[in-house]
Amino acid sequence: MRSLWFGVFLCATMLVACGDDDSDFATRPSDGSSLSSSSAMSSGSVYRSGPCKVETDENCFKDDRDGQTYKTVKIGNQVWMAENLNFETDESVCYNDSVDYCDKYGRLYTWGAAMDSAGTWSVNGKGCGYLKTCSPTGTIRGVCPSGWHLPSNAEWETLFNAVGGKTIAGKKLKSTSGWNSSRNGTDAFSFSALPAGRRDDDGNYNYEGSLAYFWSSMELNIDYACFVNLYYDNDDAFLNNYDYKYVGFSVRCLQD
């Protein structure tokens, strides 16, 4: 696995960054090992609690593409999906290649898949992906259902500000169970961020139970795109990070 610390060094040497304020970064294990909890799959406490009912719940959305439903939540002036996207597409996977993890966490997407680089759903993200520069602007639907889109850095920052700022946003947005060492969040706004981990550039899966990664619609250059992450051992939300476009992260959709 290429070290993400290389990306941190590179960011310090470049004029372009994933944000316009001071760079944030969550410390990862120095040996590259997974911090996954061995009991994570044995506990059903963080599994998606079953489909919501659009007929009776106004905070429920149905994706007409595959019939899956998602809980939604209004935070400030934004309406977010309160669950990770689980729509199957090319270049998306289940953690550890197990459907049980998709049921639990939703799917992990490359940045190109999250942006809909094939242009299946919208032309805005067409052509985006690894070794390509598409300089996306405006609202990017990406892989999200109609009426929803992949959030930008600015929209993520709006969310963090709405819950009290980046220094406490992690604690406020993390789910109340499932995080390693019982370092759970308060889920004060029902965003229910789960520690879904990631698929690394070498194809290995890591950090389930320890980290949540979410793609942003903003790219850094032909190699890297921006993302948000929450860490089990920190109350912060980290915004100005980037990684290779072909690693696998979660997607949270934001209503248009």
How confident is the model at residue 51, as a pLDDT?
83
Q: Is the dihedral of CA 37, 42, 44, 50 positive or negative?
A: positive
Q: How confident is the model at residue 137 (pLDDT cuts 50, 70, 90)?
A: confident
How confident is the model at residue 253, as a pLDDT?
98
Specify if 133 maps to a domain: yes
How confident is the model at residue 8, as a pLDDT?
36
- Kindly list the distances between the CA atom of residue 230 and the CA atoms of 170, 175, 197, 202, in Å, as whole numbers in the listed order: 6, 11, 10, 22
Residue 171 has pLDDT above 60, yes or no: yes
Residue in the block written with tokens 């290649």:
97
Q: What is the mean pLDDT of residues 122-151?
A: 95
What percent of the chain is predicted at pLDDT more than 70? 81
* pLDDT tens readout for residues 176-213: 999 999 999 999 999 999 999 999 989 999 999 999 99
Candidate from 31-40, 104-113, 122-131, 233-242 with smallest mean pLDDT? 31-40
Specify if 60 maps to a domain: no
- Kindly list the distances between the CA atom of residue 245 and the CA atoms of 60, 132, 241, 248, in Å, as whole numbers in the listed order: 31, 10, 12, 8
* pLDDT tens readout for residues 5-61: 333 333 333 334 586 444 433 333 333 333 333 333 333 334 455 689 998 999 999
CA 192 to CA 242: how far, in whole Å? Answer: 23
Other Cβ atoms less than 10 A from the Cβ of 160: the count is 21
- Mean pLDDT (the chain) is 85
How confident is the model at residue 18, as a pLDDT?
80
Phi, psi (5° rounding) for residue 18? -80, 5
> Who has greater pLDDT, 32 or 229?
229
Specify if 19 maps to a domain: no
Specify if 34 maps to a domain: no
How confident is the model at residue 236, as a pLDDT?
97
CA 223 to CA 10: how far, in whole Å? Answer: 12
CA 100 to CA 189: how far, in whole Å? Answer: 26
How confident is the model at residue 46, as a pLDDT?
45
* Domain containing residue 109: 67-255
Number of domains observed in the structure of the chain: 1
Specify if 29 maps to a domain: no
Other Cβ atoms less than 10 A from the Cβ of 111: the count is 32
- Asked whether the beta carbons of 194 and 212 are under 8 A apart, the reply is yes
Specify if 23 maps to a domain: no
> Who has greater pLDDT, 14 or 160?
160
- Asked whether the beta carbons of 173 and 187 are under 8 A apart, the reply is yes
Specify if 38 maps to a domain: no
CA 254 to CA 15: how far, in whole Å? Answer: 29
pTM confidence score: 0.84
Per DSSP, 100 falls in state H
Specify if 97 maps to a domain: yes
Q: What is the mean pLDDT of residues 94-106?
A: 96
Q: What is the mean pLDDT of residues 154-178?
A: 97
CA 11 to CA 140: how far, in whole Å? Answer: 24
Q: How confident is the model at residue 90 (pLDDT cuts 50, 70, 90)?
A: confident
